[in-house]
Amino acid sequence: MKLNLILFFFCTLVTISWAQSPNLSKYNEEIKKIEDTVKYFEVEKINDQFYMLIGGGGNVGVFVSDKNVIMVDNKYEIIEEVLMSSLREITSNPIKYIINTHYHHDHSDGNRAFGKMGVPIISHENAKVRMQKVTQLYGGIYDFIDGFVQDKYPTEALPIITYNSKLTLSEDGEDIEMYNFGSGHTDGDSIIYFKNANIMHTGDAFVRYGYPYVDLNNGGSIKGIIEVLGSIASLANDQTVIMPGHGNLSTKQDVLDLKKSLMNLYQKTVLGLEKGLSYQEIADSIDETLAADPVMPGAELTKLNYIKSIELELNN
């Protein structure tokens, strides 16, 4: 009897812990691929103090001050050495702060390495909340993200400074403004504006791979990201250098062009749904299809998925 009871508790415990352990297979697959393929980053120099590191995850922004480095995003923990060797090509200054544009692994997984080293991390308060949980990303727009589970970050990898709507950091005569313009790519996006240099890192609130991914499971909003693009454009001027979360350096006009395309798609979708049109009929009613990046699935399919996602968002 006693043995049965012990066995019962043991089995219950095993079942509970099995049920709670997240399915990280897609995450692990991605990490393996990154480890196997990313051996260096392309370093794009904007001026003597600003650089962009390209490849293996979201674009990393580097600001080299007189004595320090402030880094925006940090790609993946697994390629921290690659990141550091690219950084050391630029400067030997120590990293004073890391700013996370949002909680997604391809931008902030490096927190696991840099947090351990004691580098202070800054993010929007909602990004930190997401990092403290196991999260499942919304797959609807891009099928290959379906079922992608991101593990929670350990305590040392969490931001130690967070803010709500705006935070300003001053370093070596540069004012670094962080803004949250509401729900867009997620509910914890930061736009980082180096005011004097007139350089901006948008994180994934603005990207160059076609239709921007929106994480509807984690506070993202398609209607929201259109508004956020408007706020980014309002903050910028015609000379602002814009580092997107993914893709080439851009301008205010590029941001306005994406906003216009998404607004057109959104409005035609709302109208089409009201008329009872099918997703395909709505897609056909929109002349423009944003070209897909080679790593993303076909542009037509993404457009169709976007329309479905807008309907989902409208019904929520």
Give, as ranges, the residues between 103 and 142 that touch Zn ion (CB under 5 A): 104
| Residue 30 touches Zn ion, criterion: CB under 5 A | no
In this structure, the chain runs to a length of 316
Using CB positions, name the residue nearest to Zn ion.
104
> Interface mask (CB under 5 A) for Zn ion, residues 153-192, using x and -?
----------------------------------------
Cβ 225 to Zn ion shortest distance, Å: 11
Stretch that binds Zn ion, among 82-90, 100-108, 155-163, 302-310 (CB under 5 A): 100-108
Query: Closest distance between Zn ion and the C-beta of residue 172, in Å?
Result: 29
As measured in angstroms, the least distance from the Cβ of 176 to Zn ion is 21
Q: CA 252, 257, 262, 267 torsion: positive or negative?
A: positive
- 220 or 272: CB nearest Zn ion: 220
Structure tokens at 286: 């929109």
Residues in contact with 98: Cβ distance below 8 Å, sequence separation at least 6, in sequence order: 70, 71, 72, 73, 74, 110, 111, 114, 119, 120, 121, 122
Q: What residues form DSSP beta bridges with 95?
A: 69
CB of 290 to Zn ion, least distance (A): 17
Strand ranges (DSSP E) for the chain?
42-45, 50-54, 60-64, 69-72, 95-99, 121-124, 135-136, 149-150, 161-163, 166-171, 174-179, 191-194, 199-201, 241-243
**Binding range to Zn ion, per CB under 5 A, among 120-128, 202-210, 256-264, 300-308:** 202-210
Cβ-count burial 167-184 (b if 16+ within 10 Å, e if not): bebebeebebbbbbbebb
Beta carbon nearer to Zn ion, 104 or 259? 104
Asked if 76 and 57 count as a contact pair (C-beta separation under 8 A), the reply is yes
Residue among 30 and 204 whose Cβ is closer to Zn ion:
204
Question: Least distance (Å) from Zn ion to the CB of residue 307?
Answer: 21
DSSP 143-160: GGGTT-EEPPPPGGGS-S
Window 219-238: residues binding Zn ion (CB under 5 A): none
Q: How many of the other CB atoms lie within 10 Å of CB of 288?
A: 11
Query: Which CB sits closer to Zn ion, 109 or 204?
Result: 204
For the beta sheet containing 199-201, the strands, ordered from the edge strand earlier in sequence to the opposite edge, are 166-171, 174-179, 191-194, 199-201, 241-243
Does 204 bind Zn ion (CB under 5 A)? Our answer is: yes
Which of residues 197 and 262 has its CB atom nearest to Zn ion in the complex? 262
Instruction: Name the segment binding Zn ion (CB under 5 A); options: 11-19, 133-141, 199-207, 278-286.
Output: 199-207
**Closer to Zn ion by Cβ: residue 80 or 204:** 204
Q: Return d(Cα 281, Cα 269) in angstroms, integer.
A: 10
Q: Rank residues 127 and 241 by Cβ distance to Zn ion and give the closer one.
A: 127
**Residue 137: how many other CB atoms lie within 10 Å:** 22
Please, what is the end-to-end C-alpha distance for the chain in angstroms? 51
**Taking the complex as a whole, how short is the minimal distance between the CB of residue 131 and Zn ion, in angstroms?**
13
Please choose, out of 117-125, 132-140, 196-204, 223-231, the segment that lies near Zn ion by the rule CB under 5 A.
196-204
Q: Which CB sits closer to Zn ion, 49 or 218?
A: 218
Could you list the residues that contact Zn ion (CB under 5 A)?
104, 204
